[in-house]
Structure 1
């Protein structure tokens, strides 16, 4: 790649401006990237069309952020990727799993990186090749693709750290922006975080850890810095969120040594942009003075999830710019401007004299929607309490002005914020005494069911299930017809009776299909549900729903989190009529489907004004009443999904016991009133089950289904070693990939589960709901799953 015009010299690089953000939503305000991706995957458009759409989106984002006020050099981040920021690094290095070895080098010109088509192949799977493993990004609801490394995995620099095409990779994004007259700051996952997030491949030696490949990865990053310099980049942002976690399977001393090695080497590259190491998602802890001792020019501190470091550690930052993340990149509540400004003032006073401070977000804004101004359907009073990505940019700019010019310069903004905060606290829905009193009266007995052996005997007698029962996780494909009916009902074009008739017809079809396939425990398919959290949020007091509030979950998958703003109460039953109707169509057990309290919280923007434990118990009581109504309607199996219980696990070990106590307690409050003969299921997906197995055991569900297919049942040894005594459904079909697993593949995975756990404790199921899948692949995969269960039963 050629150098950009007017390339700076090493002595003339501009400082970071006083205000910036660490990243911006990349999916598009109207999900432009999602639509372009899925059109290309369907074959309706070409990869060239996709690249053009992506370039348009990037240009619009740059212009929009400049219009919002981010106009200084390198104040706008260039963090675009087509699918995932971790996968971007993996494919750039050619470090893909061995099953995709033939795809290496497709970027062209002899470089190891993958081209765009191959990039998607690894992400989504192909034929008999399972997609790259997916799991949650730290403690968020974003998913990343897990690198799989061993001693021989190719790890080499690909030109531009991406495909050679001029619209791919951070170097290309710098050149693209330069042609438009903008100096952007490329954003790349840092080398230490990349390796800590990786896993050892099946071919790795017993003592191998991905950190063993640090030298090779650093060589690639050093080449990247040189190319960014040549392209005209003045700053580069290397994200190191893994340093906020102390729960890795490697000693802290080794991680700190890796940080020292990485940033000593990278800062020693002579012709490179200035380096900002962004410590996000929590405090940097012991890594902060290590970074301070290296030659990087800036260090980012998350002062929302973390606190001000001590004076001794701050002293190590002399001569560097401190990027102060005081505006949350992860929630949608207005920043307490006065408190944030106090934090900034305290930081400035504690730093060595003359140390520059840049005001920023605590993390990338990829976790929040674009613009609250578009949410005209939300009560204006509630809307005034909120700040989406664009409003957070404004808050950053206000705080930067206040820090630079004094509080008098932003007195009007501070007064307005204080007024809105007072109005929020006084809102009648924010505090409801009857809800608070009900939570206060909860006892341990409310969280305790009969002993499991007693429950199992009662359930066996009631349900009469075969060995290795088959079921699904809950949802069935949401067809275009279902979505059209829901949209027409929402617009008032389809009356309540017509809408209910359409949903009942779909439920009847789904029940008949499951009976024909031969599943043992059925579901109603959730045709009436737009989302597993939003559906409940729209029926519970204390929530608001957005119209345009989309955030990226993974790849092209987006969610629209609800806003939990007040005390929670259940005005009426929410699921009973649909489940009872479905049960009336079959003699087989029908599962009632609920979303658990922790997941409703985690997948909403939860209020920040009371302890989360109290919010969880409010939700637990609402769900407890729903379970009782399902039982009264004759439903003998109730599933309370908690896929988020792992993702919200604190990153620091010391914070975990308190979290697990209240999160497990809220689930048990929701299910503790169920009769012994009622079989309670729960579901966890992409949750690193082995990390929280003790907590999951304490949930005391009769059956737990988990993601296991992408990891090839890696969780089974931990389950067996723990002595998990109840029933488990390790998913044998990865529903996040469009491929159909064969009978042989399902059988192999199911045999592994039976060998590890015993046939009497194993269920056969997919690893998640089927909402995003098409009916053709759903039917084929479920038939293969049922055939696999039959084959394993017969072999026993």
Structure 2
């Protein structure tokens, strides 16, 4: 049987972010719903043809989404959060989906959006399913069936994609005060999946890809037993199931997996050894398809196809084999060929989504032709990877000074020498901070004018003087707006920054940036990760001129905002030839230099954002302690050189911290701001558990990603809840994230209400403003 090619999913946003622009135009009522639907159809058709032209045998269907594939599954199961039922008579399915994701209002009553979380260990965010006890699910698969009918018109084999029932339950949350076992909902859920399977079998669908990435976790035994029950119930002879796992190894689950009634297993093999492949081959039922996920869907480096040919060649004679991406290519940019500004030698090291499809085809051709003792295909594979082998000795990637500096610093103690209680007194005296200080996370609205200005400067259409003058004008406006609001700690607003990671990538050696390497973060939000190609250093100061200019405009403290080493690494396409902890160490030394220069220039409040600290945590608990040890040390290297009266902040978002409380406390930052608004202040449990060991904290007091603007009373209610657990001298008041995606009109009212709430609290405590 020939080796077949497939992928688990394709990017949705379009080559030039057509989906992003269409969504935002629709939300702003600039295009009709029919126009939006037309753009979606156009993108799907284009993407399917791109896959077919690249040699993919089985096209995934159902990977397209208007906002998020997990939310799509909730809609398909008619799992609409109760608070949105009031909209059911006024909203069609598409607009209900947007309301759940973004929030809504009716009769002047706010309906809060569903929570947003990171999708396993990626920088993609999913909308968290919400469950209530005794919930009944019902089928609503109109969108999926429409897409299947569209795809069938191409007369090419297809493979519908569904999120598996156990993973769907695992990643959701209960919405009742009293916890209940989510597995109690499985019987109702399985009835809907059976109904979907029956409908698809009538359309002569042969294979369904059923995604169960939760299997890479170390699951409780009750959940593993539920897998056996679920797939017994779902088994049928009319349609075949490819059980799909990704984001890690699943060998610890093989005793359960090999008992499941499925027809094939897809495994992420990007971090495997030769022995792992042999183990899989020996343990899995011989009649199963083995789908080898050997093309890294989360990075942009070429794959060593010849190496994989040698690993997989013997298996092709013994079992049915498919070759695929490790995970969905959702996490990869679309097409390397439209990158016109990358150095050609460097560009030749990379593969984006379309090129990854071609890689799969190349390997399949070689494995299939090997039956005829044809060596031509093998030579093609060897030649394909030659440039990446030569790269390892290139001066572009090797910097002896950086490597030597890492050796010298790695053994030193990088703890701050004074306890926080002493530092806090010095800092509050230095800045004359009131009770409940107010601040923001860093960025302010990025208008189209700012983006156009940066683009013109990047394309050398304007000179440096013109650019600097206009950026300074924006900074001046941002400072003035904050002073009008009477915030306590100001920021310069980051008008010079395109993205919190990409900006530093453009200013550090060891990085390159793409023009069109966009990937989806959530909804219409796209990011363009920089690419770490070599050893990292900071040639010159990066933020000093902008921060110092902002500070010259005000007597209030201006906070220097830097992105931390773990986040820069995690949200970049990182090199794969050295360990991740070494990449992070190089970044820590570069950011440490920036911290020291900020302090020397008179900046006394410095924020090092580490929203990706939790995201970088290995999915398996048994592997987490090693990561946390080096990740925390990396952060401490970044900040340990500062004086006691310099206040160090950090910001973290969209994460669950309860299991790593002690590790977060080891960071020993002076102030930590944390996103907590969408999770109904669940981080109160984190705060309560941390107790007196906690330094100062600013739980995000309102959700900047929602269109809702919080009232003074809403903010006051949240603050009163927080003060049940946080000592009043340690509570900061701030939004939950940066404000760059919002408009000035949206943020003025919200920030004003936030400041009034803080002042009201001070008055209630018998204090003057």
TM-score of the superposition, structure 2-length normalised? 0.95
Deviation at 1:698, TM superposition (A): 1.2
Could you tell me how far apart the structure 2 residues matched to 1:506 and 1:106 are? Answer: 41
The answer as to 2:526 corresponding to 1:558 is: yes
Task: Tell me what 1:394 maps to.
Answer: 358
Q: Which range moves more in the overlay, 382-391 or 784-793?
A: 784-793
Q: What is the correspondence of 1:225-304 to structure 2 with a 5 Å cutoff?
A: 225-246=197-218, 252-268=220-236, 271=238, 273-304=239-270
Match of 1:618 among 573, 586, 591: 586
Question: Post-superposition shift, 1:412?
Answer: 2.7
For residues 97 and 791 of structure 1, the distance between their equivalents in structure 2, rounded to whole angstroms, comes to 34
What is the distance in 2 between the residues matched to 1:770 and 1:314?
53
RMSD across aligned C-alpha pairs, in angstroms?
1.8
2:757 is the counterpart of 1:788: yes
How far apart in 1 are the matches of 2:324 and 2:417?
Answer: 48
Pair 1:68 & 2:54 matched? yes
| CA shift for structure 1 position 77 | 4.3
Cα drift, residue 89 of structure 1? 1.1
Counterpart of 1:426 in 2: which secondary structure?
Answer: coil
Does 1:55 pair with 2:41?
yes
Q: CA deviation at 1:418?
A: 4.3
How far did residue 341 of structure 1 move?
Answer: 2.1
Note the alpha carbon deviations across 1:236-277, whole angstroms, 9 max, x for none: 11111111112xxxx621121121112111113x54x32111
Deviations 1:640-670 (A, max 9, x none): 0000011111001121111111111111111
Alignment of 1:197 onto 2:183: no
1:362-382 residue CA offsets vs partner (Å, 9 max, x unmatched): 100110101112212111111
- Aligned 8 A contact 2:303 2:385 in 1: no
- State the match for 1:736 in structure 2: 705
Q: How far did residue 422 of structure 1 move?
A: 2.6
Q: Which residue of 2 aligns with 1:41?
A: 27
**CA–CA distance in 1 between the matches of 2:427 and 2:230?**
56
Equivalent residue for 1:706, pick from 670, 674, 691: 674
Match of 1:3 in 2: none
Number of residue pairs the alignment of both structures matches: 754
Q: Deviations over 1:599-646 (max 9, x none)?
A: 000111010000111111111111111011111111010000000011
Alignment check: 8 A CA contact 2:61 2:148 kept: no
Task: Name which of structure 1's ranges 134-143 and 295-304 shifts more when overlaid on structure 2.
Answer: 295-304
In structure 2, distance between residues paired with 1:596 and 1:312: 39
Bigger Cα displacement from structure 2, 543-552 vs 481-490: 481-490
1:338 Cα deviation after fit? 2.5
Q: Tell me, yes or no, if the aligned pair for 1:186 and 1:236 is still in contact at 8 Å.
A: yes
CA distance in 2, matches of 1:721, 1:446: 26
Q: Is the 8 A contact 1:321 1:356 kept in 2?
A: yes
Whole-angstrom distance in 2 between the partners of 1:314 and 1:448: 52
1:314/1:788 Cα in 2 relative to 1: closer, same or farther (>3 Å)?
farther
Alignment correspondent of 2:714: 745
Query: So what's the TM-score if we normalise by structure 1?
Result: 0.92
Q: Structure 2 CA distance, aligned partners of 1:200 and 1:306?
A: 36
Task: Find the counterpart in structure 1 of residue 456 from structure 2.
Answer: 488
* 8 Å CA contact retained: 1:741, 1:781: yes
User: Aligned to 2:677, what secondary structure does the other structure show?
Assistant: coil
2:112 maps to which of 118, 124, 130: 130
Greater mean alpha carbon deviation, residues 746-755 or residues 573-582: 746-755
Distance 1:118 1:422 in 2: 50
CA distance in 2, matches of 1:702, 1:240: 40
Distance 1:447 1:422, change over 3 A: farther
Is the alpha carbon distance of 1:449 and 1:577 closer, same or farther for their aligned partners in structure 2, counting shifts above 3 Å? farther
Contact 2:3 2:321 in 1 (8 A): no
Measure how far apart 1:76 and its partner are.
4.3
* 2:403 maps to 1:425: no
Once the two structures are TM-superposed, the CA of residue 791 in structure 1 deviates from its matched residue by: 2.5
**Conserved 8 A contact 1:645-1:663:** yes
Deviation track 1:492-514 (CA, whole Å, cap 9, x = no partner) reads 22111111111100000000100
Q: Is the 8 A contact 1:174 1:232 kept in 2?
A: no
Matched, 1:157 2:139: yes
Return the match for 1:599 from 558, 563, 567: 567
Unpaired segments ≥5 residues, structure 2 = none
1:211 counterpart (148, 172, 183): 183
**1:182 lines up with 2:156 in the alignment:** yes
Take 1:104 and 1:17, find their aligned partners in 2: how far apart are those partners? 47
- The aligned counterpart of 1:437 is 404
User: In 2, are the aligned partners of 1:16 and 1:321 still within 8 Å (CA)?
Assistant: no
Cross-structure match for 2:72:
88
1:709-756: CA deviation from partner (whole Å, max 9, x where unpaired) = 001110112221123420111001111112211212211112111111
Q: Does 1:336 align with 2:304?
A: yes
- What is the aligned partner in structure 1 of residue 516 from structure 2? 548
| Residues 90 and 521 (structure 1), Cα distance of their counterparts in 2 relative to 1, 3 Å cut | same
**Paired residue secondary structure (1:332):** coil
